[in-house]
Amino acid sequence: MRILLDKFTKNFGDLTVIDEMDLEVHDGEMVALLGGSGCGKSTTLFAICGIHKVNGGRILFGDRDVTNITSQERNVGVVFQSFALYPHMDVAHNIGFPLKLRKETSTEIQRKVDEIAEMVHIGPLLKRRPGELSGGQQQRVALARALIRRPDVLLLDEPLANLDATLRLEMRSEIRRIQRETGITAVLVTHDQVEAMSMCDRIAIMDAGKILQITEPSDMYNNPVSDYVAGFLGSPPISFLTGIIQNGSFIEPATGAKIPVRKAIAGSHAGREVRVGIRPEYYQPDKGVMIKGTVSMIEAQGRETLYVVTLPDGNILRSIQGSHSPVKIGDAVNWGIDAEHMLVFDKDGLLI
Amino acid sequence: MGNSKHLGLYLLAPAGIFVILFFLAPVILTGIFGFTNMSTATGITGGSYMVSESSMRPLRSHFGEEALADQLMQRVYTIDEAGLQAAAEAGGDAAAIRELEARFLGQSFDRRRDVEVAIKSLNARPSSTRAIKLISAEFERSVVNTRFDTPEEMLAAIAGFGIVLNNAQTEALVDVAYTGWTFTTQNFKTMLELPDTKKTLINTLFYVFATLILFNTGFALVLSISTHYMPSRPAGFFRSIWLLPRVTPPVLYVLMWKWLAWDTGFLSVILEPLGFAPRNWMLDTPANAWTFIILINGIVGASMGMLIFSSAIKAIPPALFHASEVDGATRRQQIWHIILPQLRWPILFITIYQTLSLLTSFEYILLATDGGPGGATEVWALSTYLKALSNYGGALQYGYGAALSLVLVVIGISVSLIYLKLFDFKNLTAPPKIE
Ligand SMILES: Nc1ncnc2c1ncn2[C@@H]1O[C@H](COP(=O)(O)OP(=O)(O)O)[C@@H](O)[C@H]1O
Ligand SMILES: [Mg+2]
């Protein structure tokens, strides 16, 4: 069922956390709310599930306006960051709790619990208490509890933040699998761009209570609306340089290297200062516009290696390379920028 | 470095001494006193040996020595030097006394009348009956009500009256004649026999559980849960209000209740126009007395539970409340399925703690009704206090009081054990299998 936020506004006292946010999540889609800590992701999520009252705007599930409906009546499933399992109930009772509240018969509850436990792979754990489960198992129980009512929407608040690295990888695909199997409309809140990119159909990137851009992960990676968005996505991150457009090229101030830009930009921004973003995979030893610098850091990342190259004026470029090259820290290198994939932003940080 | 191991012990020593002096010693002494017949009559130090009406009673009833008791209680009248001299000093007729000495010295009579017949037979017989009685009284001889420091002295005196005792009789007599305290289980038998005991026990159970369920746990839960759902300012305000009785000095606090209930007090004044005759509402009927007692104790007692429960509710992660809301729980279901289960441990703690303190504390009852009307609100602890430490007649029964206290301790421990069982304490404290 689609979710629509229409000019949704939320304040805590004098502090306006979300100001007139519009967001549409299509039926069956999984959208990530991505942003730094404190930008209002959880606030948005809590408004969607009804824990927070909104101060302005509307929230629609399908065509139903749920703005003033209590969370009890919204039929949403929520997985909280801390999982929020009831410590005094065993796993079966935790999962069956929403049904028990609706006074379903115990045989019915048991049947549904078994079914959902099967789906999230926790069949043998039903008699345990949450305190006797590992993080990943608790996560699965929380998912099962959120899903057992067949909710209209599933909301996940940083569901992987409390798991260790290997579990995070496993649960990433598990959550996506379960979301696909159930076809449920889902909103995932996360501050981790890898999570957002790998799990969701679309990403809504937020900053200070506003959605900056909402689109598919690859589109957002390749065509970020602003330098902020470009900086948020990608690991290792994009590098920025500031300079002037002259004669159809971006002039790198420290080395004087000329990097050609698109005709439109060359025309509209001739003589103006711009900011360019170069992703590590587009700064490579043997192609593009050569630019000189000194290797200041080398970071082995297993299959790949990250090199940080410092230009004469102290700005840096990052390069990620698959094959191991014999370069050492302090070596002077002359590597090339792929002009095709260079992102150009204006003075306000917007993509040109 | 080797000394630092013992440092803790030295630091704890003052506390240890206090515990021993003010806790262990009283407990042990109470345990011991409970098995004695100590009272104001016996004193708390040693006693002496005396044949008396009260010491003969067990000799008859317990040892079946009716005849011996009669014999010991018997008075004989012997005309001896001491008697003659005492009669003279008491102002008896001198001529009569002289003649009595001459004719009857050394003779004994069983009854006083016989002595008086002898006096009347004298030539110098006194004219009035009063004068005759004055003289005859001085010849009464018996062991009754004479205190002896040792059993030997008492037995010698008895032998002097020509009373011969066999071994069993000697033993029994020494036993019953001792006026100091002795070890006995009589207190507990008395307790079982007295009808008051059962009434006091029922009073105590009613008082403890009614106050506990209605206020110390029940109302405390109501307060803490309802303030949990309030905005924090009014919640804090309400909680402070309920703390006020706790910080009021008990005497003043009870005095205010008495003012409220007196026949010229608030209740009487406002109820009189409605057709209720002024009266002491508190002591009017047992039901009224109980209502007041429970209110007085409960309103003070609810605050502690309220504080403990409130902080326990605060400690529940907010996410659990959020989760239960989106799971569809109404407020009532939230209270029942989330809050109360999380409060199991604090509720157990408050229930045990308050049961014990209600069992042992009687100050509010003492100040408010003093057990009245007619013993209707006399609870075990108050009864113990009255028997052992405060009695109008001044006859304090330390031993019986201690025995009563001992029973109270046993009741307290048994009730606590039952609670632990009811609340499934083992499961509450079991360590989680995985951290
Ligand atoms: N209950 C609250 N009262 C006051 N301020 C709040 C409350 N909840 C969140 N905030 C504020 O709102 C902002 C957004 O919070 P949140 O939505 O939790 O951020 P995040 O994106 O990290 O989930 C933060 O500045 C936070 O301090
Ligand atoms: Mg958050």
How many angstroms separate the CA atoms of A93 and B223, rounded?
29
Query: CA-CA-CA-CA torsion for A324, A328, A329, A335, nearest 10 degrees?
Result: -60
- Say if the Cβ atoms of A132 and B433 lie within 8 Å: yes
pLDDT tens per residue across span B238-295: 989 988 888 889 899 999 998 988 888 888 888 888 888 878 888 888 898 999 999 9
What pLDDT score does B262 carry? 84
What pLDDT score does A189 carry? 96
Which residue from B319, B337, B432 is facing A84, i.e. has the nearest CB? B319
Task: Among A43, A45, A48, A51, pick the best mutation site for testing chain B contact (most B Cβ within 10 A).
Answer: A51
Q: Is B409 exposed, middle or buried (0-12, 13-18, 19+ CB in 10 A)?
A: middle
* Mean pLDDT estimate for chain A: 91
**What mean pLDDT comes out for the span A88-111?**
94
- Say if the Cβ atoms of B327 and A46 lie within 8 Å: no
How many angstroms separate the CA atoms of A58 and A54, rounded?
8
Does the structure show a pLDDT above 70 at B129? yes
Helix/strand/coil for A155: strand
pLDDT tens per residue across span A289-343: 889 999 999 998 888 999 999 999 889 999 999 877 788 899 999 999 998 899 9
What letter does residue A142 receive in the DSSP assignment? H
Q: Is B71 exposed, middle or buried (0-12, 13-18, 19+ CB in 10 A)?
A: middle
Higher pLDDT among residues A70 and A265, named by residue? A70
Q: Whose CA is nearest to atom 8 of ligand 1?
A: A43
Residue of A8, A9, A12, A45 best suited for mutating to test ligand 1, as the one with most atoms within 8 Å of CB:
A12
Q: How confident is the model at residue A31 (pLDDT cuts 50, 70, 90)?
A: very high
Task: State whether the beta carbon of A119 lies less than 6 angstroms from ligand 1.
Answer: no
What pLDDT score does B416 carry? 85
Q: How confident is the model at residue B433 (pLDDT cuts 50, 70, 90)?
A: very low
Q: How confident is the model at residue B7 (pLDDT cuts 50, 70, 90)?
A: confident
Q: Is B306 exposed, middle or buried (0-12, 13-18, 19+ CB in 10 A)?
A: buried
Question: Per DSSP, what are the bridge partners of residue B102?
Answer: none
- How many CA atoms does the CB half-sphere of A52 hold within 13 Å? 21
What pLDDT score does B392 carry? 66
Does the structure show a pLDDT above 60 at B431? no
Higher pLDDT among residues A97 and B262, named by residue? A97
Domain ranges of chain B: 49-177, 191-428
How many angstroms separate the CA atoms of B12 and A89, rounded?
42
- Say if the Cβ atoms of B342 and A82 lie within 8 Å: no
Task: State whether the beta carbon of A41 lies less than 6 angstroms from ligand 1.
Answer: yes
Q: Is the pTM of this model over 0.90?
A: no
Q: Whose CA is nearest to atom 24 of ligand 1?
A: A38
Does the structure show a pLDDT above 90 at A66? yes
- Say if the Cβ atoms of B317 and A84 lie within 8 Å: yes
What pLDDT score does B435 carry? 37
How many angstroms separate the CA atoms of B162 and A100, rounded?
93
Domains of chain A, with CATH numbers? Answer: 3-232 (3.40.50.300), 239-345 (2.40.50.140)
Residue for token pair 């340089």:
A241
How many angstroms separate the CA atoms of B176 and B64, rounded?
12
Are B378 and B387 in contact by the 8 Å Cβ rule? The answer is no
What pLDDT score does A16 carry? 92
Tokens of A226: 């602003």
For chain A, the maximum distance between any two Cα atoms, rounded to a whole number of angstroms, is: 77
Does the structure show a pLDDT above 60 at B434? no
- Say if the Cβ atoms of B326 and A76 lie within 8 Å: yes
pLDDT tens per residue across span A184-203: 999 999 999 999 999 999 99
pLDDT tens per residue across span B308-365: 999 999 999 999 999 999 999 999 999 999 999 999 889 988 988 898 889 888 889 9
Contacts with A50 (C-beta within 8 Å, 6 or more apart), sequence order: A66, A69, A70, A71, A72, A74, A76, B325, B326
Q: How confident is the model at residue A219 (pLDDT cuts 50, 70, 90)?
A: very high
Tokens of A261: 């830009």
Q: How confident is the model at residue B2 (pLDDT cuts 50, 70, 90)?
A: low
Percent of chain A with pLDDT over 90: 68
Does the structure show a pLDDT above 90 at B184? no
- The fold of B191-428 is MetI-like fold (1.10.3720)
* Mean pLDDT estimate for chain B: 85
pLDDT tens per residue across span A222-235: 999 999 999 999 88
Percent of chain B with pLDDT over 70: 96
Instruction: Say which range, A82-96, A250-264, B34-48, B70-84, has the weakest mean pLDDT.
Output: B34-48
Task: State whether the beta carbon of A39 lies less than 6 angstroms from ligand 1.
Answer: yes
What pLDDT score does A247 carry? 86
ipTM of the complex: 0.87
What pLDDT score does B415 carry? 87
What pLDDT score does B330 carry? 93
Q: Count of A–B CB contacts within 8 Å?
A: 70
How many angstroms separate the CA atoms of B214 and B210, rounded?
6
How many angstroms separate the CA atoms of A46 and A17, rounded?
13
Task: State whether the beta carbon of A36 lies less than 6 angstroms from ligand 1.
Answer: no
Beta strands in A100-238 (DSSP E): 153-157, 185-190, 202-207, 210-215
Does the structure show a pLDDT above 50 at B191? yes
Does the structure show a pLDDT above 90 at A214? yes
Are A17 and A43 in contact by the 8 Å Cβ rule? The answer is yes
Does the structure show a pLDDT above 60 at B432? no
What pLDDT score does B430 carry? 60
Question: Per DSSP, what are the bridge partners of residue A290?
Answer: A336
The helix (run of H) or strand (run of E) holding residue B375 is none
